[in-house]
Amino acid sequence: MPSIFKNIINNFLEFHSDEASPDRYKKLRRNITILMIIITTVPLLVMASVNYHQYNTRLTDEIVNPLRAISNKSKHSIELFLNERLSTIRFIESLFSFEQLSDKKALNSIFRVLSLEFKGFIDISLIDKTGKLRNYAGHYVLPTGDYSQEKWFHEVSIRGTYVSEVFTGYRGYPHISMAVQHMTKNEEIWILRATIDIKQFESIIRAMGLEAESDAFLVRNNILQTHSKYYGKVLEKCPIPIPERGFGTTITEITDPDGRNIFMSSIYFEESDYVLVIIKPRSVLFKSWYTLKTDLFAITIISIIMIIIIAFKLSEALVKNIQEADEKREMAFREVQHSQKLSSIGRLAAGVAHEINNPMAIINEKAGLMNDLIDFSPDFENKEKFLNLTGSIIQSVERCKKITHRLLGFAKRLEVVFENLDLNNVITEGLGFLESEAKHRNIEIRTNFSENLPRISADKGQLHQVFLNIITNGMVALDDGGTITIATWDQDKDTVGVSITDNGCGMSKETMKHIFEPFFTTKKDYGTGLGLPITYGIIQKIGGTIKVESEENKGTTFYIYLKKNFDNPNI
Amino acid sequence: MDKIKILLVDDEEDFVETLSERIQMRNFDAEIAFNGQEALQLIKNKTPDVMVLDLKMPGMEGMEVLRRVKKDFQNVQVVVLTGHGSEKDEEEARNLGAFEYHQKPVDFNILVKTIKNAYKNKIDNTMISSAL
């Protein structure tokens, strides 16, 4: 596994420094950036999401448990309330006989005590076994009723007790009724029925002390049994599906019809189909969670943005360094190659020059002898012509000699005599040699010397040659009436700089590549191609550097940097 | 005045023979040696006034010949004429007492002039030493 991973990373960062593709630095930068972003943001995101989920779970637990508790407690209260009422009625039913209860006065006094002692009773009625209303005490005057066909009547006949769902009935407002059947050994059957105001439920629910956004209500068979703040009035259909009966409290997280995320706790009553539902919107419960979530989100986003910025900057700097190092290396390599090329050409040139000198000397002497013999002999036909011929042989030898001597001059290990020199003076002296030609061709030579130029240590004669070579080249490149500008300046603590600029024809990139190579010349007829190579050699020997910048038809500038104090290893 | 006696030392036979012919045509006395040993032999029998010496020769190098000549025959003026010399060689030759250093091919008239100057130098030197 680790090796696979390593391979992937290696492939990703693969970089061919030799490849000529100009995009390779861009690619490298892109890859480094992506890799950096991935390896930093992935753990961050994983950690953030793990935190998120852990906190979420923990928070849910902490919300759910109190909800369960309050749900149980409230359900218990309501049940207790109902049971209390039911046992009161049963108590009355057991205590009194049918005859006693049939007495209007007695039932009224019982009801009075009942309403006084127990809250919520609306009325109480006595019903005989055929379902006929026999007596009534309460706030309403009911028509003489026959309940034999009512559902609850059958129910109470079977079970003995009955607690109804909420209904409006004759009384015109929601209530519940509960009935108890009296059954004795002598088969005397009658039913005592009481109705109870559901306001009592609501007061129990209020006692729960829920938050403003929360809601609690009773539901039976999907019909609201109490008012709900958000989900309808009593006896309307509950818009939220109520879960099936389970053990204890069921808590579900759902989205209500209004689109709110809510926690719904539901608990079924043990002996009836009532369900106590408590609704708490998630937003309330999770207020702290949302703040935290926002913080977490913000921190994560800010971190990622910072990581990305840093990754970009860092990879940019990194790749820039690599690129610079590459360029430097390449340049150094090219320089080494160049100087090696020059020195091997130099050795070759010297060898050739030496070998040619001997036969040249022979030609020279033979032609000289011929010349002498002809000269000393009396006149004969074509004597003049022969003398011309030998003369031009000797002249040609002279030309060859010049070439070989320059070749040797290029190649030989120059003995350099270091002196403490004022560079400005050296240049001014050198310009003296060129004055007449410049004047003749109407070329202006401007000097822009730094006044307090530090003195340098170099060979005066060699420097003369350097400047003469370059300035002569400049003059060749110039049309009559052009300008050559020579400037000197203090480059840094070790070097001084000289620039020689002409506004002549300039040269192409191709030419620039070769100008320091021996025998490369653009002056087809009269150039030896040795001026600049010699210049280059001298500059190297005295520890300087030479650079050239040129643009075709604009001109050329040579920059020469010379050491103020050069420790020549040859001395 | 006696003819100036010249010894030409060079392994290039063609060159040295032609040179000697031309020198003789100008009324000098010229001898030829093709290598160092031969030159040293000749010098013993007939000491020349001026010696024209090549540096690069098989056998004994010109520089060695120069050293020996200057040791045993101080008066012989040596003109070095070589196709191979570097500035180092020139300096060494001059330090060893060479009168002049020329690189091949040399203009004949310049060579003749040098030979004459060398002879003059020799005469001056002997006059000074005899005066002392």
- Option in B21, B83, B88 nearest A358 (CB): B83
A-interface mutation test, from B23, B91, B108, B109, most A Cβ less than 10 A away: B108
**Token duo for residue A100:** 């006693």
- Over chain B, what is the mean pLDDT? 88
| A233 has pLDDT over 80 | yes
pLDDT in tens, A395-417: 999 888 887 877 776 665 444 66
- Is B24 within 8 Å of chain A by CB? no
**What are the extents of the domains in chain A?**
59-285, 413-571
Chain-chain contact of B104 with A397 (C-beta, under 8 angstroms) = no
Query: How far apart are the C-alpha atoms of A44 and B9, rounded to whole Å?
Result: 92
Domain enclosing residue B60, as ranges: 5-131
Compare all CA atoms of chain B with the CA of A402 and give the residue at the minimum distance. B105
pLDDT digits (tens, 9 = 90+) for A23-67: 778 888 888 888 888 988 898 899 888 988 888 788 778 778 888
Mutate to test the interface with A, among B11, B22, B94 (most CBs of A within 10 A): B22
The fourth-level CATH superfamily of domain A59-285 is: PAS domain (3.30.450.20)
| Length reported for chain B | 132
| pLDDT bucket at B19, cuts 50 / 70 / 90 | very high
State the complex-level ipTM: 0.87
Number of domains present in the structure of chain B: 1
pLDDT at A264 (0 to 100): 87
Torsion region of A240: left, alpha or beta (phi above 0 gives left; psi -120 to 50 gives alpha): beta
Q: What is the pLDDT of residue A413?
A: 45
Whether residue B51 is predicted with pLDDT greater than 90 in this model: the reply is yes
B102 at the A interface (CB within 8 A)?
no
Q: Does B104 touch chain A (CB under 8 A)?
A: yes
Query: pLDDT tens-digit profile of A140-166?
Result: 776 667 788 888 888 888 888 888 888
Q: Which residue has the tokens 């002549």?
A: A504
**pLDDT at residue A570, as a whole number:** 42
Give the Å distances, CA to CA, from A244 to A173, A254, A280. 29, 15, 19
Interface-testing mutation among A364, A365, A406, A408, with chain B (most B C-beta atoms within 10 A): A365
- How close B124 gets to chain A, by Cα (Å)? 30
pLDDT digits (tens, 9 = 90+) for B58-92: 888 889 999 999 988 888 999 999 887 777 788 89
Cβ–Cβ under 8 Å, residues B61 and B55: yes
Confidence check: pLDDT of A504 > 70: yes
pLDDT attached to residue A269: 86
With 90 as the cut, is the pLDDT of residue A356 above it? no
Task: Give the gap in angstroms from C-alpha B88 to the nearest C-alpha of chain A.
Answer: 8
Q: A358, A376, A397, A403: which to substitute to probe chain B, counting the most B Cβ within 10 Å? A: A358
Instruction: Assess whether pLDDT exceeds 80 at residue A126.
Output: yes
* Residue spans of beta strands (DSSP E) within chain B: 5-9, 29-33, 50-53, 77-82, 100-103
* CATH label, A413-571, candidates 3.40.50.10710, 3.30.565.10, 3.30.70.1400, 3.90.1170.50: 3.30.565.10
Q: Which residue of B has its CA nearest to A407?
A: B86
Q: What is the pLDDT of residue B66?
A: 92
Instruction: Give residue A58's pLDDT.
Output: 83
User: What CATH number did the domain enclosing B30 receive?
Assistant: 3.40.50.2300
- pLDDT band per the 50, 70, 90 thresholds, residue A15: low
Q: What is the DSSP string of A540-559?
A: HHTT-EEEEEEETTTEEEEE
**Confidence category of residue A569, pLDDT binned at 50, 70, 90:** very low
Which chain B residues touch A414 with a CB distance below 8 Å? 87
Residues of chain B above pLDDT 90, percent? 49
- Mean pLDDT (chain A) is 82
Residues of chain A whose beta carbon is less than 8 angstroms from a beta carbon of chain B are 354-355, 357-358, 360-366, 368-369, 372, 376, 397-398, 400-401, 405, 408, 412-415
Beta strand B5-9 pairing with B29-33: parallel
CB distance A366–B14 less than 8 Å? yes
Mean pLDDT of A451-455: 85
Instruction: Name the percent of chain A lying above pLDDT 70.
Output: 90
Q: How far is CA A257 from CA A18, A48, A253, A276, A503, in A?
A: 67, 32, 13, 19, 86
pLDDT over 70 at A19, yes or no: no
Rounded to a whole number of angstroms, the distance from the CA of A396 to the nearest CA of chain B is 11
Q: According to the model, what pLDDT value does residue A118 have? A: 84
Q: Does B21 touch chain A (CB under 8 A)?
A: yes
Q: How many other C-beta atoms are found inside a 10 Å radius of the C-beta of residue A371?
A: 19
pLDDT at A284 over 90: no
Arithmetic mean of pLDDT, A362-390: 89
As a whole number of angstroms, the distance between CA A181 and CA A159 comes to 8
Q: Helices A383-411 and A531-541 sit at what angle, rounded to 10 degrees?
A: 30
Q: Which residues of B touch A541 (CB under 8 A)?
A: none
Nearest alpha-carbon partner for A125 in A199, A197, A195: A195
Name residues whose C-beta falls within 8 Å of residue A169's C-beta, 6 or more positions apart in sequence. Answer: A175, A177, A195
Which residues on chain A are in Cβ contact (under 8 Å) with B86? Answer: 408, 412-413
CB contact under 8 A, A357 and B105: yes
Of A361, A368, A372, the CB nearest to B104: A361
Q: What confidence tier does B124 reach under pLDDT thresholds 50, 70, 90?
A: confident
Q: Does A571 have pLDDT greater than 60?
A: no
Question: In the prediction, which pLDDT does B65 show?
Answer: 92
Contact A21, A323 (CB under 8 A): no
Residue A252 has pLDDT above 60, yes or no: yes
- The residues facing A265 across adjacent strands are A251, A278
Contact A362 B22 (CB under 8 A): no
Identify the pLDDT of residue A414. Answer: 46
What does the pLDDT read at residue B112? 92
Query: Is the Cβ–Cβ distance between A396 and A422 less than 8 Å?
Result: no
Q: Among A354, A364, A397, select the one facing B84 at the smallest CB separation.
A: A354
Is residue A125 a contact partner of residue A133, using CB atoms and an 8 Å limit? yes
**Residue from B8, B9, B15 to probe the interface with A (highest A Cβ count within 10 Å):** B15
Q: Which neighbouring-strand residues pair with B32?
A: B8
pLDDT digits over A298-326, tens only?
988 999 999 899 989 998 999 889 888 88
More confident residue, A109 or A568: A109
pLDDT at position A14, please?
64
